[in-house]
Amino acid sequence: MSLVVQKFGGSSVANAERIHRAARRAIVAQEAGKRVIVVVSAMGDETDRLLELARQINANPSRRELDQLLATGEQVSIALMAMAIHQAGREATSLTGGQIEMRTNRAFGRARIREIAQRERIDKLLDGGHIVIVAGFQGIDEESNVTTLGRGGSDTTAVALAAALGADECEIYTDVDGIYTADPRIVPNARKLGEIAYDEMLELAALGAQVMHSRSIELANNYNVVVHVRSSFSDAKGTLIVKETQEMEKVVVRGAALKKNLARVSLLGAPVGGGLAAGVFAKVAEAGLVVDDIIQNVQHGDGTTNISFTTSADDIAEARSIAQALARELKFRAVEIDQEVAKISVVGIGMRSHTGVAAKMFDTLAAAGVVIENISTSEIVIGCIIRRADGDKALRAVHEAFHLDRDGTVGAG
């Protein structure tokens, strides 16, 4: 008998009517002969409501107590979901992270799952015909302190359960109906993908695709869990995130992404010396700033060099103060901040076996009048830093050039 894990995010359980709709999905799957585990997030704005309560009490709450507080959001959802399934005349039992003994480390707010100790309890309930409802986002450490898994935590819970119990599929219900070749708001003929490889999805997530958090995709990859991203609001098939196959490699570029909210921080005119870059990025990492790309600049004739990196534009105030401290300490001539940059990237596992992708991308951007300011590449990604004002134009041009609106295998040549 096949097992499916269905995960419903906050917007899919935001009110009674949506909870009933999610309950019906679980029941339909059970009627189709499947064993069903449902993972739910906190209702709609519940997490924000709880954070606001905390903020009224303490501007800087302890992470342990914050997790104790936030975990109630999912506990409310699981109880209501079980009640909705009962209302439809089916058996269901809700279980918290503590009740399934979702054991994590003690990193409150960003805990890592170690094991699910009560798999037998879940199995027994499934054997008894129950739909089992599990609270997403939460676990417990070895002392039974409540932990939470951080951003995308409920996806991680769903994938971990699918892995631990050997589910055939982990369905992620969201407000989009799948993964697209590019953001359809910018590229009107963007196409929904039937399937995408874990590595490709990981790169797209890193490039800002909000659909699933990297951690849950990594976990799915590690345990070979088939993830099905689909819409809460329709029955259409969504996108399967799967292990790559030889067939999939025939597609050179799976998708294109535009990361708009970037800023470039440049440290100008540093005296060249041993370990300069290492020194800079050690300090940046220490300050907790997430660096997107590091830009290596050529050495000047006067024995100085420039070091640049891009970071989220949201963190620019922090980045500026770090850069200024570094400039003083390491005797850079000046700090320059450019908040008008973006990154256009193409992603595809097919790049490993195809050549000419980079050249085609550069030609395409040049033909569209887009100036490339920096290039970064990995095995399956080519990214170019460009002016933010050119972003939408660049994305449409690249999408067109690689024929992403069409299904099938397209060469690079």
Using CB under 8 A as the binding rule, whether residue 113 contacts a second copy is answered as no
The piece of 13-21, 168-176, 349-357, 394-402 that touches a second copy (CB under 8 A) is: 13-21
Q: How far apart are CA 215 and CA 230, in angstroms?
A: 19
Burial environment of residue 226 by CB neighbours within 10 A (0 to 12, 13 to 18, 19 or more): middle
Query: Does the footprint of a second copy cover residue 58 (CB under 8 A)?
Result: yes
How far apart are the C-alpha atoms of 413 and 62, rounded to whole Å? Answer: 56
Q: For 212, list phi and psi in degrees, rounded to 5.
A: -135, 150
Give the DSSP H or E segment for 344.
strand 334-347
Task: Give the tokens for residue 153.
Answer: 């935590």
Is 83 a binder of a second copy (CB under 8 A)? Answer: yes
Which of 2, 16, 273, 359 is in the footprint of a second copy by CB under 8 A? 16
Residue 404 to residue 400: CA distance in whole angstroms = 6
Report if residue 98 touches a second copy, rule: CB under 8 A: yes
Nearer to a second copy, 26 or 323 (CB): 26
Q: What CA–CA distance (Å, rounded) separates 256 from 16?
A: 37
Options 21, 51, 79, 392; binder of a second copy; rule CB under 8 A? 79
Please report the sign of the dihedral spanned by the C-alpha atoms of residue 306, residue 310, residue 311, residue 312. positive
**Residue of the chain from 21, 86, 192, 387 that contacts a second copy (CB under 8 A):** 86
- DSSP string computed for 19-62: HHHHHHHHHHHHHTT-EEEEEE---TTHHHHHHHHHHHH-SS--
Cα 26 to Cα 32: distance, rounded to the nearest angstrom: 10
Q: Which stretch binds a second copy (CB under 8 A): 56-64, 151-159, 230-238, 264-272?
A: 56-64
User: Is residue 94 involved in binding a second copy (CB under 8 A)?
Assistant: yes
Interaction of residue 19 with a second copy, rule CB under 8 A: yes
* 64 scored as a contact of a second copy (CB under 8 A): yes
What is the rounded distance in angstroms from the CA atom of residue 251 to the CA atom of residue 248? 6
Of 145 and 304, nearer to a second copy (C-beta) is 145
Q: Kindly tell me which of 54 and 330 has the beta carbon lying closer to a second copy.
A: 54
Interacting span for a second copy (CB under 8 A) from 89-97, 164-172, 291-299, 306-314: 89-97
96 scored as a contact of a second copy (CB under 8 A): yes
Q: Which is nearer to a second copy, 161 or 202 (CB)?
A: 161
Our finding on whether 87 is near a second copy (CB under 8 A) is yes
Q: Report how far residue 357's alpha carbon sits from residue 350's, in angstroms, rounded to the nearest whole number.
A: 10
According to CB under 8 A, which one of 50, 287, 358, 372 is a site residue for a second copy?
A: 50
Task: Give the helix, strand, coil percentages of the chain, each rounded to 5.
Answer: 40, 25, 35
Options 26-34, 73-81, 344-352, 364-372: segment touching a second copy (CB under 8 A): 73-81
- Sequence letter at residue 224: N
Q: Answer yes or no whether residue 62 interacts with a second copy by CB under 8 A.
A: yes
CA atoms of 190 and 255, how far apart (whole Å): 9
Binding residues for a second copy, rule: CB under 8 A, are 16, 19-20, 50, 53-54, 56-58, 61-62, 64-66, 68-69, 71-72, 75-76, 78-80, 82-84, 86-87, 93-94, 96, 98-99, 121, 143-146
